[in-house]
Amino acid sequence: MMSNHDEQFEATHTEGSKMGIDLVGKTVKNKQIIFKGYIDGSPMENDMELKLGDGLKLEVPKGSNAIVVKNLYLSCDPYMRGRMLDFRGSYIPPFTPGSAIEGFGVSKVVDSDDPNFKRGDLVSGITNWEEYSLIHKTDQLRKIEQDDGIPLSYHVGLLGMPGFTAYVGFYEVCDPKKGDYVYVSAASGAVGQLVGQLAKLHGCYVVGSAGTSKKVELLKDKLGFDEAFNYKEELDLDAALMRYFPEGIDIYFDNVGGAMLDAALANMRIHGRVAVCGMVSQTNRTDTQTFLNMFSVISKRVTIKGFLQSDFVHLYARFLEDITGWYKQRKIVYIEDMNNGLESAPAAFVGLFSGKNVGKQVICVASE
């Protein structure tokens, strides 16, 4: 049963949800998604738990240089699975068991002691899976210059980390040329859907693969891919790629790794390029992948290059300008899969690894 004390918190919270930045100085009970502990294998919903946190005062102490934000949209990204391992040798540290999950989001500033942000500003960057966050690392946030033509949630997708990954991966890593034969795996996802569209804008022939017939239809009908196929219906991936690329592949933008990467290697053209962006098919596996087609790298003089989007931050301004312009000129579109409510986040995250998401997976925590 709710105590008077709880009722007070609830009242404040409901009021706050409506009023946004008028909450300064109030104390709220903060709904959070807590990371329970390190895991092996596929992530499950009960690796995370919804918790009502202790009272959080929505005010930043003077001299802290911190900000308090109300989270509006949160991003579910495959790389977050890597942070559920107790492994410190990666490019990003593991999550802390017992703490709220950290991830990309779009948030509104409630109070600020950082001169770069003021109350009411909209920001995107690293926040936590909770309703309100106290953020000390404000250098991981970017102020959003709001543009009515662009949905706010796109700042974790098209104009956020996944969109940036597609942009730098395609232009900086793939060395694309007009007329190239381009293959994209996980093609309907947050990164893949933009890679395919950029390749089309560049004058390439583009084929994508995805895991359902609905996604395949979207690739061809909405995202402008020349061809698309459901890789789960193919018994022989090598033969499938040979069917779609009778003359071979110039560029393979690899989002999945594993058997698909091996099949693509067998189908590369001379001087082909493989941009290794992600290995979502391998994330939850503990066995080792064997490659049968590595000799092709020599015989076809293939370049295989792994990359991290974070190495290209100097290109962020150019990316924003290009992608915003192309979106407004209707040269590109973007598909989102929006779940409502913080409590929907664990299932949405887990769903990334069985292909439940159709497009960029976003959680709407609160409206502006």
Contact residues for ligand NAP, defined by CB under 6 A: 77-79, 161-162, 165, 186, 189-192, 210-212, 215, 255-256, 277-281, 307-309, 352-353, 355, 357, 360
CA 45 – CA 136 distance, rounded (Å): 28
CB of 290 to ligand NAP, least distance (A): 16
Q: Is 243 helix (H, G, I), strand (E, B) or coil?
A: helix
Q: Residue 94 corresponds to which tokens in the numbers above?
A: 């593991």
In degrees to the nearest 10, what's the CA dihedral of 215, 208, 338, 356? Answer: 60
Q: Which is nearer to ligand NAP, 181 or 349 (CB)?
A: 349
Q: Which is nearer to ligand NAP, 30 or 357 (CB)?
A: 357
CB of 59 to ligand NAP, least distance (A): 35
CA distances from 123 to 117, 150, 201 (A): 9, 14, 30
Strand 141-143 to 205-210 pairing: unpaired
Q: Which is nearer to ligand NAP, 130 or 254 (CB)?
A: 254
CA 142 – CA 28 distance, rounded (Å): 25
Cβ-proximal residues to 139 (8 Å cutoff; 6+ apart), any chain = none
CB 122 within 8 A of CB 108: yes
Q: Which is nearer to ligand NAP, 48 or 237 (CB)?
A: 237
CA 96 – CA 37 distance, rounded (Å): 8
Q: Which is nearer to ligand NAP, 51 or 356 (CB)?
A: 356
- Which DSSP state fits 342? G
CB of 63 to ligand NAP, least distance (A): 35
Q: Which residue has the tokens 């370049």?
A: 303
CB of 349 to ligand NAP, least distance (A): 10
Q: Which is nearer to ligand NAP, 309 or 339 (CB)?
A: 309
Q: Residue 142 corresponds to which tokens in the numbers above?
A: 């970017």
CB of 310 to ligand NAP, least distance (A): 7
Q: From the centroid of its chain, how far is CA 363?
A: 12
CB of 155 to ligand NAP, least distance (A): 15
Q: Which is nearer to ligand NAP, 144 or 161 (CB)?
A: 161
Query: Residue 349 is which amino acid?
Result: F
CB of 162 to ligand NAP, least distance (A): 5
